[in-house]
A and B are shown apart, each in its own frame.
Chain A
Amino acid sequence: MKITFPHMGNTYIAVKAMLEDLGLEVIVPPKCSKRTLELGTKYSPESICLPLKINIGNYIESIERGADTILITGSCGPCRFGFYSVIEKEILKDLGYDIDIIVFDPPDGNYKEFINRITKAVNTNNPIKILKSFNRGRIILKEVDRLFQFSNKKRAYAVNSYEVDKIMQKFSEGVLKVKGVIETKKLIKRIFKELEKIEVDNTKRPLKVGIVGEIYTVIEPYVNLDIERKLGHMGVLVDKFLTPSRWVEHNLTLGHLGLSEERKAWKAAKPYIRTLVGGHGRETVGSAIMYAEKGYDGVIQLLPFTCMPEIVAETILKTVAKDYDIPILTLIVDELTGEAGYVTRLEAFVDLLKRRKEERKFERVLSRS
């Protein structure tokens, strides 16, 4: 069995290590590229949201490399993501691929079926072994999140921000060469050390921007045109409300309970939106408010074209921006999004934030005299 799964930001690092520990042969889909998107767009329903198109591209590119089993997660609505697995199966079947698809839907009361699927996927029915590697996978995911968070910070303070890119490039190449959890962990440690050595200028007072929105767009760099890096080089300190580890916690483990961070976001969002709207719509509103309260200079909302929950959030964010006096930029991506226009909008936004910050400083000086 040669197992593969769709890309979603850095999740591949943990999933790969975990499955390898269980003794499986893993085929990581090639990094998302123009070809991935083109393949996906060609074979997916035209008006479906972008993440599905990229998934399809990932599968095809993995199958080309010999994958015969796909592992995916699901949900039970209300957003379209819950029906991805059904459509994806049909598409691959119609393309004539002979491939097994194993779906981990959140156990809808049926735990036995859930466990069955896991045993099928990982080829062992030793629950302790499974739980153990699952836990270690989660730890890796958290470590990777920390690493990327740290690299973002470094970029904002570094004397030469491009040094960060070089080291992170080394990381993504290295990750494909190591095997299993232990080696991956070691690699992460090494990269941390290298990042630490980068020379920083602590007199810098970078702008702070929070990124909110639809999870896939927020964490998959190909889709968001590497927004963290771009902002980092513009001297912006970036924070993301949603990260792969939070997503996993939410979807596979504690989804129904609501994590404390998520709870906090729901609470913050409450005056504007009382109920779920699917996807991460409510979290988007809540986390934008939380960024405003923490004194961030601006917020960026990311969403794929026609993403339903985020359209609700977008409407509400207009009021939030007014009420909290914080600029919020909404960026919508689809297969037609061009790099040039995107960068221009980002630059204009950062300029606006800079100007505001200066003006405020100035106001303060005057009012003191």
Chain B
Amino acid sequence: MSCKVGIPQALLYYEYYPLWKEFFTELGAEIVLSSSTNKSILNAGVSSCVDEACLPVKVFHGHVEQLKNKVDYLFIPKFISVCKKEYLCPKLLGLPEMVKNSIDDLPTIIDVEINLIKSNSNLHKSVIEIGNYFTSNNKKIDLAFNKAINRFNEYKKLLANGVIPIEAIKVYNKYINSITTLKNSKYKILVLGHSYNLYDEFLSMKLIEKLQKDNMKVITPDTVSIDKINYYASKLPKRMFWSFGRKIVGAAFYLIEENAVDGIIYISSFGCGLDSVLIDLVYRKAKKFKVPFTLVTLDEHSGEAGVNTRLEAFVDMIIWRDSNENNISTHG
């Protein structure tokens, strides 16, 4: 009998879902995905999680609430590091513990540690450990993981070709059959932020889709080449020790310095500790190079109307700026 593994559609789902999905399926497990974020998930999360947590962590709790009675296992790996000498956010480091101490009556949590801070070789150990929940045949696990990696690389190729994950993952989940055709827009907007803020359409209020409808070409850090990201991030006076921070700052610095974007929208969530640093770094750089920058902060009470107005004003400004070569102020 196949067992059911629940995967919350939140936080690192947007980074790694295709990988885990292939892996678990190969191992004969059935994946149960929580629905995309909605009001009731948000409310459930807000009430089970400590007040001080940031929005995406609260939302994650809501997804767990939705899944907990429907599955045999919940997959909440303990991500510490996905890259040498780098970490993820402290709240992700403690995520399984936060969930366990906030929500009662949970099924078994697969909270295997993933820690590549010293070297990549630890990954294999973690993979075996995860696989062992389903089979004791390590060869089978290796095989499954290799297959999964191959598929995952294909997915990443899509991203490298400029398809943003929101679309790539849709193809992946077969929600829609074709990728929204990329229009050749005159204006390029860099939408920055953590993937779980950018691509959660409920939290971000479909901001990306709206920009696309406004005929803007949207770039996100996921579509910028890793080499560029690394090169430009390394220009910081100190090594960026957060992997997602490196991606955000590196992508932004590259596009700003190469004069390759017309504007930047940073989508942050209230209470995000990393963003308070990253926003500051990007904002200063944008200011220096006179690239329009705006910040949208999401919280549980954000109203869509307000965000829309901000967005429209920003888009108008960029178009106006373009037609008035000698732009004046870019920062309001």
Which A residues contact B (CB, under 8 angstroms)?
Answer: 45-49, 74, 76-80, 82-83, 85-87, 89-90, 94, 105, 108, 272-279, 281, 305-309, 311-316, 318-319, 332
Contacts of A308 in B (CB 8 A): 89-91, 273-274
Let me know if B280 and A48 touch, CB within 8 A. yes
In the complex, which of the residues A78, A89, A314, A315 contacts B93, with contact meaning CB atoms closer than 8 Å?
A: A78
Let me know if A276 and B277 touch, CB within 8 A. no
Contacts of A275 in B (CB 8 A): 78, 80, 93-94, 113, 115
4 extra A-B contacts, CB within 8 A, seeds A272-B101, A311-B91, A316-B98: A47-B276, A78-B87, A94-B284, A274-B78
Q: How far is the CA of A319 from the CA of B104 in the complex (A)?
A: 11
In the complex, which of the residues B50, B94, B281 contacts A281, with contact meaning CB atoms closer than 8 Å?
A: B94
Contacts of B279 in A (CB 8 A): 45, 47
Is the CB of B52 closer than 8 A to any CB of chain A? yes
**Interface size, B (range):** 35 or more
Closest residue of chain A to B278, judged by CB? Answer: A83
Contacts of B54 in A (CB 8 A): 306
Closest 4 CB pairs of A and B: A312-B94, A78-B87, A77-B241, A278-B90
Given contacts A274-B113, A306-B276, contact A76 B90 (CB under 8 A): no
The proximity string for B residues 89-103 relative to A, scoring 1 for CB distances below 8 Å and 0 otherwise, is 111011001100110
Let me know if B50 and A48 touch, CB within 8 A. no
Contacts of B88 in A (CB 8 A): 78
Is the CB of B158 closer than 8 A to any CB of chain A? no
B283 to chain A, nearest CB (A): 8
> What are 28 A-B pairs at a CB distance below 8 A?
A45-B279, A47-B276, A48-B276, A74-B238, A77-B241, A77-B242, A78-B88, A78-B89, A79-B273, A80-B276, A86-B281, A274-B78, A275-B80, A275-B93, A275-B113, A277-B91, A305-B52, A306-B54, A306-B272, A308-B89, A308-B90, A308-B91, A315-B49, A315-B50, A315-B97, A315-B102, A318-B50, A332-B52
A227 to chain B, nearest CB (A): 19
- Which among A74, A94, A312 has the highest number of chain B CB atoms within 10 Å? A312
Mark out the residues of chain B between 243 and 278 whose CB falls within 8 Å of any chain A CB in the assembled complex.
Answer: 271-277
Let me know if B91 and A312 touch, CB within 8 A. yes
